Structure 1
Amino acid sequence: MDLIQFLGRFHVLVLHLPIGILFMAAFIEIYWVYQRQARNPLIKAVWLWGAITASGAALLGYLLSLGGGYSEEAIATHRNWALSVIFCSFFCWFYLSKIAGQGKKIVGLSILQLVLLFSTGHYGANMTHGETYLVEHAPVFVQKMAGLKVREPVTSVEQASIYPDVVEPILMQRCSGCHNAQKSKGKLDLSSYPSTIKHAVKAHDLANSELYQRITLDKHDKKFMPAEGKTPLTDAQVNLIGWWIEQGALNDIKIAELNADLQIKQLIAKELQLGEFAKQPKVQIAELGEQVVVELEQAGFHVSRIQQDQPFVSLIYANLKQDINDETLKVLRKAKAQIKWLKLARTSVTDQQLSILTEFDNLEHLDISHTQVTNKGLDTLLSAKSSLRVNSFNTLVR
């Protein structure tokens, strides 16, 4: 199966050959007719190579489909259009090569080939990117003509609906290309609210919401989403999805009806490109000193600033031994006011060591995935910091 999938993935490379070759053949045929020029015998070879490469692309596409993750109906539709392209291109090679003159038949066959190519490509793109990919950024009237449900532009954070205006656009932008009704990798469909709730989200429970767990894993983890080098969600988008789940993963409810603090409203305003809450409150926290940064790095932490005009930082424990000891915690405490994001994944952190994080007033996101932390340690921490978002994937937390 691995060899089949290896070969099948060349489909996305090879399919460009018949598209280019057959486009060229069809346009040249039409050009010659309207310019009243004699047909060059070499066009026969162009049609033949177009037919051969189309057959090769179709074979590789079939191998790719054996890996699963695609709707049977979508596969059948795309396959039938592809077979039509192959049949038409072989027919054009055989029939048009016998014609020495010019005429409407040549133009008709060439136009038919172009239509078949467009249709095959369209249904292939639907499988890869979702049905709305072609028109999701089109003018409103075009979207309406395509049968899409078009929401009126949001002009106020308070009047925005949490799922359709905030969460759904994020999922459509970052996730639905691989997780839609036509292409549901891992049998996961994030293209609608019901399917998202059914397969990937558990209301009020970040630890058991697969969507949240996957987007907060290490980017090098094979289970991290989005996969295959696609652009990951921003920190703000991760925060918004986490907040949405904590609020109950509701659907069409206004932000005004939810308990959103100023920071969440600022994130929503930025995501929706609104001017509201744009001004950040002045933060009376000192910058992290250079000596502390050096000590943190020597202790095994990778330090990065979250935002240029604020003192908050993100820390990732990157010590190859992944051992957390008293000296490590002592250094970590020196930055407790500035740390907002802390990653201790795949480390030896214990329940007792985790308790010191109750002192970190500005800590918002903690990654303890792939550790031996239990409910005891996490409950102690969350009792003091109830708003803390935690990735506890593959721990002893139940």
Structure 2
Amino acid sequence: MDWVFFFGRFHVLVLHLPIGIILAVIALEVASRSRTLQHPESAGSFLWAAAAVTSIVTVALGYMHYFEGGFAGTSATVHMIAGTSVAVLATLAWQLRKWLTSLYSRAQYGISALLVILLVVAGHYGGNLTHGPDFLAEYAPGPIRALAGLEPRRPPVTELAAADPWLDLVRPMLRARCSSCHNSERRRGMLDLSTYETTLAGGDTGPAISPGNAEGSELYYRITLASDHEDYMPAEGKTPLTDIETEIIRWWIDAGAPAETILANVDTASVGPLLRNQLGL
């Protein structure tokens, strides 16, 4: 299966080809119909063929990537359905353009509009898998966040004692460094670090956190391995946690992994300056 996984990872590279080609051929064909731009008859057929072939290859690589595991939830399902539909529709457009020109002429605008919609849907949900479901709306104004079903953004911390150790310190670190691989839609190793409950629950290797025992916690073990170790996290190519962030996570776990409280209720004597630095106080 290693070869399948190897080729599957090229999905994120190849997927840009059909997107560009499909948008190019749609623009070319529409412009030609309005007589603002003329092009050789063979150009449209060639581009639709290229769109179909690259779409099929992209979908095949996408399924290979899916077999690697760690993809779950609505985003994965919708992304796969929309992506497969793009390949099918692009192939249909190519064959109609080639063999049934009159039918293609009547269906051209409908096919083009549907393809654009499917590309947007596939791209959006693919982005959710890559960056996490909150990526687009992370910095959105309150009304847009509410419309997207997201909780309001937390106000800036102005006083150390009033900060929530999970919401204001640990969760932002995990979101910045780990959420691209460990979120509700993409759970590598079946680990979701997007909420307090799922972080405690852990993944394939058991609980990620052992409250009160950082040295015995899988999460702390992984982030403190040598960077060239195969189990080191974040994985190769991702930005690692800083020394300050790692130390804060150690302190948090040893303190019992507190949440739904404020730092005034937690012993911060050993890490006060680090916490202030992390919070920008």
Please report the TM-score for the alignment, with normalisation by the length of structure 2: 0.88
Distance 1:27 1:265 in 2: 58
Shift of 1:67: 1.8
The structure with the largest helix share of the pair is 2
8 Å CA contact retained: 1:29, 1:110: no
Say if 2:193 is the partner of 1:185: no
Distance 2:235 2:77 in 1: 26
Secondary structure of 1:120's partner?
Answer: helix
Secondary structure of 1:143's partner?
Answer: helix
Shift of 1:259: 1.4
Question: Which residues in structure 2 correspond to 1:98-117 (within 5 Å)?
Answer: 98-99=100-101, 105-117=107-119
Question: Which residues in structure 2 correspond to 1:33-182 (within 5 Å)?
Answer: 33-34=33-34, 36-38=36-38, 40-41=40-41, 42-71=43-72, 73-96=74-97, 98-99=100-101, 105-156=107-158, 157-182=160-185
Match of 2:274?
267
8 Å CA contact retained: 1:8, 1:64: yes
8 Å CA contact retained: 1:38, 1:101: no
> Structure 2: which amino acid aligns with 1:11?
H
Shift of 1:103: 7.5
**Residues 149-193 of structure 1: per-residue CA shift (max 9 Å, x gap):** 123312322221111111111111101111122221112111111
- In structure 2, do the counterparts of structure 1 residues 101 and 186 end up closer, same or farther at CA, with 3 Å as the change threshold? closer
- In structure 2, do the counterparts of structure 1 residues 177 and 103 end up closer, same or farther at CA, with 3 Å as the change threshold? same
Shift of 1:31: 3.5
> Structure 2: which amino acid aligns with 1:86?
A
Secondary structure of 2:48's partner?
Answer: helix
Shift of 1:266: 3.0
Q: Which moved more, 1:199-208 or 1:85-94?
A: 85-94
> Structure 2: which amino acid aligns with 1:256?
A
Shift of 1:54: 0.7
Distance 1:27 1:271 in 2: 49
Distance 2:190 2:278 in 1: 28
Secondary structure of 1:158's partner?
Answer: helix
Distance 2:191 2:125 in 1: 20
Shift of 1:91: 2.2
Say if 2:223 is the partner of 1:220: no
Match of 1:30?
30
- In structure 2, do the counterparts of structure 1 residues 102 and 184 end up closer, same or farther at CA, with 3 Å as the change threshold? closer
Say if 2:206 is the partner of 1:198: no
The structure with the largest strand share of the pair is 1
Secondary structure of 1:174's partner?
Answer: helix
Shift of 1:92: 2.0
**Residues 331-372 of structure 1: per-residue CA shift (max 9 Å, x gap):** xxxxxxxxxxxxxxxxxxxxxxxxxxxxxxxxxxxxxxxxxx
Match of 2:255?
247
- In structure 2, do the counterparts of structure 1 residues 102 and 84 end up closer, same or farther at CA, with 3 Å as the change threshold? closer
Where do 5+ consecutive residues of structure 1 fail to align? 277-398
Match of 1:363?
none
> Structure 1: which amino acid aligns with 2:50?
W
Secondary structure of 2:60's partner?
Answer: helix
> Structure 1: which amino acid aligns with 2:131?
H
> Structure 1: which amino acid aligns with 2:220?
Y
Match of 2:219?
211
Q: RMSD between aligned alpha carbons?
A: 2.3
Shift of 1:216: 0.9
**Residues 113-167 of structure 1: per-residue CA shift (max 9 Å, x gap):** 1111111111122222221122223344332322111233123222211111111
Where do 5+ consecutive residues of structure 2 fail to align? 203-207
